[in-house]
Every structure is written in structure tokens, then in C-alpha cells.
């Protein structure tokens, strides 16, 4: 049994009572938290760590992202959504290879660990290659292989039936660190019978579903024309919200009251990605009506083509600021609410049992954040410092299932220098290929 004893810590437990501990111990045994507060006097640890000047908190859970899209960071700037997508994102992605996905996701993994993310919910292509990155990095993830259902030539990589084989082989592997969801892109791209087939498969396989849903009023208008129902009501009529593994719906911005009631009643997790909305100048409402209706809200970075980073501190802070501003209410999303959204709400959405609170028995998925920095002093409120002042670069140490993925800002599992080199090389080659193909196609 491996025992790690971290001493002299400030601890934001995010337990039900919101307990905060000062000058406290945190003991990890065999991948789980054994003691929080005071270690037993006769404890024999394999490793003793001095946590002075650090605050421990649960690691972040990025509830919606497209991690390999790091290769499009800075590639599609200052454009309206349709031009962003058609002239830049699709052009680059038309030349996508499985190797690009591997190096893009590896770059994302370095960035996520460095900024304190312990688990992510990925929605992209060639998820077999992202699974390699998850295995190697020590992170946890739910991997969703995105499928369109509009003909084999439209799919990137194999279609639905082959991704089902991959799900059977992959779900629950890496000691349970890798989980999978079925991944229809969205009801505005996927045909109804294809969505129904996915619902059937989810029941057969005991799987959840991760999709984009009701992102803007245009999608609502289109859905009313095609199906006589709004997107939320339409996918609900197909039984999509009743699948055994739960549903993560990205965005859910254009909702009316009945939509919100359906999402709440069915326990759908809505992943909120405010930096994308602001950068692409999308209309987005405050969270209060969704929260008041009982909708479960978690946070995500979305893809680095539209964010442009994967720093959950930034997303959490942006969420709190937007809510206060949009509601014209400085009391909106008070206290540790944004921290809980960015950690335990995401963990619940991803189905990682017990993650998101530093309590005995929970998996040791935690981060240490540096307090010995000018912007983190004075410490009137650890919570306020974490929500409104901390940055990803303040994370010093990251642990997942009791294993260090970063110690004193040094990555322990990934070869960062090689990943930076290969990710740069693959990203440049990919956009060049994409541009060339587009020129040839247009003649
Ligand atoms: Zn997305």
C-alpha cells in the first residue's frame, strides 16, 4: 500500500458543508484520500510532501472540449461563426490524420495538466488515438467519437458501427480512467433515424451520449420547420435523454421554459463554455433560469480553435463574471458555486464516482495551487482568490488516482519538449495540406 502524506496545506474540500481547513494534512493511500485534516500520529508514509504556501482543491473537470483542436489555436481569428467554420476550421480539418489527432491531444494533455485539469470530456474524431494519450498521461477522460450519420463519406474515420466496436474495447480501460460516450454531432446535422439508432445502441451498451444541443435560435427555427418541435423536445421524443449512461449536452443556449423543465427532469448535464460564446459573439443568456429550473450545469473550455486555451480557471472566472454582469446582480453565483461547477458538477456529468470533493474515500484527483504569488495575497478568502485571481500557471502539482502527473511544475508522465515539437510540425503541415486541397477542389 502506497501512502503519501501532504502536510501544512490549506484545503478547500468542496465537501457538502464547504469545509475549508488551515495548516492541515492530506493523506492518500492507494489512490484514494484516506485522511483530511489531521493524519494519525502513527502514520508511516512512503512519501512526505511539504504543502506550505499551497492550497489543495479537487482537480478541474473539463466537461466539453475538442482536445485535438489545439492544432487550430490561433488559426481562425476574428471571424463570424459561419466563416470561422467553413473557411478555416473545416479547411484545416479536411486534411486531418490520426497522427494529427494524437499530437494535438498530447499537446492538450500537457496544457490541461499544467492548468489543473484532471478529467476531460472529449468530442472529436480518431478517439482511439486520444485514448493513447489518456493512457500515457495518467489523466481521466470520457471519449466521444463524433459521428454525423449523413453518409460514410461525411464521417471522419469509421462510422457508427465501427465506433461501437471501439467503445466495447475501450470503455472502462486504463483502470477505469477511460470511459466512453456515444457521440452524435447534433440534432441539426444527424438524421432522426440515426439518432434513434444511437439511442438503441446506448441501451444495448449501457452508454451515455455527448452531443451539441440547441446552440442558437436558428437551430430552434430549423428544428420547428423540420420536426415541428424545438431541438430539446425533438431529441426527448426520440428517448435520447433516457439512455443509461446519462447525457452531456454542450451549450444549450436557446431554451424556453418547457425545454429547461425537460432537461432538469431528465437529469441532462449542460456544459457551459462561455469563452467560446464571447469570442464568437454568440447570444447567450444568464444561467439563472436554467439553475432555477434545476438543470445541472457544468463547465467546459470547448475547442482551442475558439477559446483559445484549455485553462479551467479562466472558464470558471468568466462564468462568474458573465453571470453577475448579465443578471446585473453582483450576488449571482456566489461563494464556491463556480468552483463546484468546474469540478464536481463535471465529475458527475462524466460519471466519475466520488470525484470532485476532498473527503475520505474519494479518488485522489487533486491539485495544489501556489499561494506565494502577489495576486494570491492577502488571503481574506481562499475561495475568492481561486475563483477570481488564480490562473492555470499557479498550479504546482497535480495528482490523479494518487499518482503525480505534475510535481513542482514538472510534468511526470509526458515528454513535453517532444510533444511541443511534434504538435507544431503536425499543425503546420495539416493547415498547409488543407489549404492545398481546398485550392485544388475549387480549381
Ligand atoms: Zn463543442
* 14-32 pLDDT tens trace: 999 999 999 999 999 999 9
Own/partner contacts of 81-88, CB < 8 Å, gap of 24 or more, are: 81/280, 81/282, 84/280, 84/305, 84/306, 88/305
Average pLDDT on 223-247 reads 98
Residue with cell 432555477: 292
Domain range annotation of the chain: 3-58+357-411, 60-350
Ligand 1: centre distance to CA 198 (Å): 19
Domain 60-350 CATH (choose: 3.40.50.620, 2.40.128.720, 3.30.70.1430, 3.20.20.140): 3.20.20.140
Phi/psi region, residue 172 (left: phi>0; alpha: psi -120 to 50; beta: rest), is left
Confidence of residue 422 (pLDDT cuts 50, 70, 90): very high
Categorize the per-residue pLDDT at 156 as very low, low, confident or very high, splitting at 50, 70 and 90: confident
Q: How far is the CA of 366 from the centre of ligand 1 (A)?
A: 26
Q: What is the pLDDT of residues 352-410, one digit of tens each?
A: 999 999 999 999 999 999 999 999 999 999 999 999 999 999 999 999 999 999 999 99
pLDDT at 1: 78
Predicted pLDDT at 155:
86
Calculate how far, in angstroms, residue 230's C-alpha sits from the geometric centre of ligand 1.
Answer: 20
Q: What integer is the mean pLDDT of 183-211?
A: 97
Does pTM surpass 0.95?
yes
CB atoms within 10 A of CB 326: 15
pLDDT average, residue stretch 36-55:
97
3-58+357-411: CATH number: 2.30.40.10
For 274, what's the count of Cα atoms within 13 Å in the CB-facing half-sphere? 23
d(Cα 345, Cα 342) in Å, to the nearest integer? Answer: 7
Task: Judge whether 138 and 413 are in contact, CB under 8 Å.
Answer: yes
Q: Ligand 1 centroid vs 251 CA: distance in angstroms? A: 8
Q: Which of 1, 31, 17, 21 is nearest to 354 (CA)?
A: 31
pLDDT at 404: 98
Report, as an integer, the average pLDDT of 338-344: 98
Contacts of 85 (CB under 8 A, 6+ apart): none
Q: How far is the CA of 253 from the centre of ligand 1 (A)?
A: 13
Look at residue 443 and tell me whether its pLDDT is greater than 90: no
What is the number of H-type helices and E-type strands within the chain?
A: 16, 17
- Separation of 443 CA from ligand 1 center, angstroms? 32
Q: What percentage of the chain has pLDDT greater than the value 90? A: 91
Q: Please say whether the beta carbons of 344 and 355 come within 8 A.
A: yes
What does the block give as the cell for 55? 492550497
Ligand 1 centroid from CA 277, angstroms: 11
- Calculate mean pLDDT across residues 39-51: 97
8 C-alpha to ligand 1 centroid (Å): 40
User: What's phi and psi for 180, nearest 5 deg?
Assistant: -130, 155
Amino acid at each position: 500500500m502506497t501512502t503519501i502524506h501532504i502536510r501544512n496545506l490549506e484545503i478547500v474540500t468542496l465537501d457538502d458543508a464547504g469545509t475549508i481547513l488551515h495548516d492541515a494534512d492530506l493523506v492518500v493511500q492507494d489512490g484514494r484520500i484516506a485522511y483530511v485534516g489531521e493524519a494519525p500520529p502513527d502514520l508511516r508514509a512512503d512519501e512526505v510532501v511539504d504543502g506550505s504556501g499551497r492550497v489543495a482543491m479537487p482537480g478541474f473537470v473539463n466537461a466539453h472540449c475538442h482536445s485535438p483542436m489545439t492544432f487550430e489555436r490561433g488559426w481562425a481569428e476574428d471571424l463570424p461563426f459561419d466563416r470561422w467554420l467553413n473557411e478555416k476550421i473545416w479547411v484545416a480539418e479536411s486534411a486531418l490524420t490520426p497522427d494529427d489527432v494524437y499530437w494535438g491531444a498530447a499537446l492538450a494533455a500537457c496544457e490541461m495538466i499544467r492548468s489543473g485539469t484532471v478529467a476531460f470530456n472529449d468530442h472529436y474524431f480518431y478517439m482511439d488515438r486520444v485514448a493513447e494519450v489518456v493512457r500515457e498521461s495518467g489523466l481521466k477522460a470520457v471519449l466521444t467519437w463524433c459521428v454525423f450519420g449523413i453518409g460514410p463519406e461525411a464521417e471522419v474515420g469509421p462510422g457508427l458501427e465501427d465506433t461501437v466496436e471501439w467503445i466495447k474495447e475501450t470503455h472502462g480501460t486504463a483502470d477505469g480512467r477511460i470511459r466512453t460516450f456515444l457521440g452524435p454531432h447534433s440534432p441539426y446535422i444527424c438524421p432522426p433515424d440515426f439518432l434513434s439508432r444511437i439511442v438503441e445502441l446506448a441501451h444495448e451498451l449501457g452508454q451515455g451520449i455527448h452531443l451539441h444541443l440547441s446552440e442558437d435560435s436558428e437551430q430552434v427555427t430549423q428544428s420547428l420547420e423540420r420536426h415541428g418541435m424545438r431541438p430539446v423536445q425533438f431529441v426527448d421524443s426520440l428517448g435520447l435523454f433516457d439512455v443509461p449512461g446519462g447525457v452531456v449536452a454542450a451549450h444549450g443556449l436557446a431554451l424556453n421554459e418547457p425545454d429547461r423543465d425537460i432537461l432538469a427532469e431528465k437529469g441532462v448535464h449542460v456544459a457551459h463554455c462561455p469563452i467560446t460564446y464571447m469570442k464568437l459573439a454568440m447570444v447567450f443568456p444568464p444561467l439563472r433560469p436554467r439553475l432555477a429550473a434545476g438543470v445541472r450545469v457544468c463547465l467546459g473550455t470547448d475547442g482551442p480553435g475558439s477559446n483559445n486555451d484549455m485553462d479551467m480557471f479562466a472558464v470558471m472566472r468568466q462564468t462568474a463574471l458573465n453571470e453577475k454582469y448579465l443578471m446585473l446582480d453582483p450576488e449571482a453565483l456566489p461563494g464556491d458555486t463556480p468552483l463546484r461547477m468546474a469540478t464536481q458538477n463535471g465529475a458527475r456529468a462524466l460519471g466519475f464516482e466520488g470525484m470532485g470533493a476532498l473527503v475520505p474515500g474519494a479518488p485522489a484527483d487533486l491539485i495544489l495551487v501556489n499561494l506565494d504569488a502577489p495576486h494570491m495575497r492577502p488571503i481574506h478568502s481562499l475561495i475568492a482568490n481561486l475563483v477570481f485571481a488564480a490562473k492555470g500557471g499557479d498550479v504546482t502539482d497535480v495528482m490523479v488516482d494518487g499518482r503525480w502527473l505534475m510535481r513542482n511544475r514538472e510534468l511526470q508522465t509526458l515528454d513535453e519538449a517532444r510533444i511541443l515539437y511534434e504538435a507544431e510540425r503536425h499543425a503546420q503541415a495539416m493547415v498547409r495540406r488543407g489549404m492545398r486541397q481546398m485550392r485544388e477542389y475549387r480549381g
